[in-house]
Structure 1
Amino acid sequence: MNSRPAPPTQDTAAIDALTAGLRNRLFFRLYQTANLLNKTGNRALEDHGVTTQQWAILGALADPRSEGGISVGDLAALLMVSRQNLTGVLSRLESRGLIARTVDVRDKRSRFICLTGEGLQRWAEMQPQINEFYQASLADFSTSDLIAAMHYLERLRHNFVVLEGGQGEAEGD
């Protein structure tokens, strides 16, 4: 018995080329979308002096699951960024009085990050602009569209975690 796969036919070659083209277009579209999200998100919150990176951090810290603080390592894992990339943004937020770093009583080498009172107030003040941004960005999306988009983005995120060599996965939201 021959265990080699059959040579590609003209039909399978055309399908492979189509699939490769779709993959390329999908990743290019993701790249464009990420850039536009960053640009338009920064503009949406410029009155608050907050960037999209800072927005993500403040949102993670405002989540009830982060009450009492979150370690820098856990925050980096949740946001799927390196600790090095996070450090500069945290320093800027801290210098503006929006977050505080505290020493972990169980491990003096570790730091917890939490929102300050001013950070909580800023987060609350940002909500109308954030909601307007979401409304405008997702204007033509039905609830079913949102569920489908979340499903496929989660599958893609999972595959990237696997490519990254991740054993455990950070929570998706």
Structure 2
Amino acid sequence: MTDLTTEKSLASIEINNRLFFRLFQAANTLHTKGTQALDDFGVTTQQWSVLGALSRPQVEGGMSVNELSRYLLVSRQNLTGLLGRLERDGLIERSTGAEDRRERRVRLSEKGVALWQSLADPIHNFYDGALKGFSFDDRLAFIHYINLLQRNMSQL
């Protein structure tokens, strides 16, 4: 390799390391600061993600545990305990599938819907603060690149 090729290769390695380290830091900060934003509601960031997934209009009737697991990119095993706590707290309801009795469906309960609605302003304030300085176009581009990164990593 030429010196220029070696320099580019080393620069690429350094940039990659920095990028993934920053991504790791951002994920940790999201967990820490997100938890602080939700403390008054007694909701963890993991519960926030489940409630958010189940609050989408297209899943008003609920979704299977497998669908939720795929949507959140978490294992069924990790989701099981979380769903148990949400059900215990009356925030979700589980039922069996209409077509397949083995299927477990999950949806927000009335209490869960009310909690999600009360979280709307604090969550949007958190998002606005975290994305301060990002234009609308920056946000769209960021979504594009995060999606591309996630897709590439899932194919490894």
2:96 alignment partner, one of 97, 103, 107: 103
2:67 paired with 1:58: no
Aligned AA (1:87) = T
> Which ranges of structure 1 fall in alignment gaps of 5 or more residues?
1-7, 164-173
Q: Larger Rg: 1 or 2?
A: 1
Match of 2:18 in 1: 25
Normalised TM-score (structure 2): 0.98
SS of the residue corresponding to residue 85 of structure 2 reads helix
Q: Give the RMSD, CA atoms, in angstroms.
A: 0.7
Q: Distance in 2 between matches of 1:24 and 1:38?
A: 21
Q: Which has the higher helix share?
A: 2
Displacement over 4 Å in runs of 4+: none
Percent identity among equivalent residues?
A: 46
> Which ranges of structure 2 fall in alignment gaps of 5 or more residues?
none
Q: Distance in 1 between matches of 2:144 and 2:100?
A: 38
Match of 2:146 in 1: 153
Q: Distance in 1 between matches of 2:61 and 2:139?
A: 31
> How far apart are 1:139 and its partner, in Å?
1.1
Q: Distance in 2 between matches of 1:153 and 1:105?
A: 36
> How far apart are 1:105 and its partner, in Å?
2.1
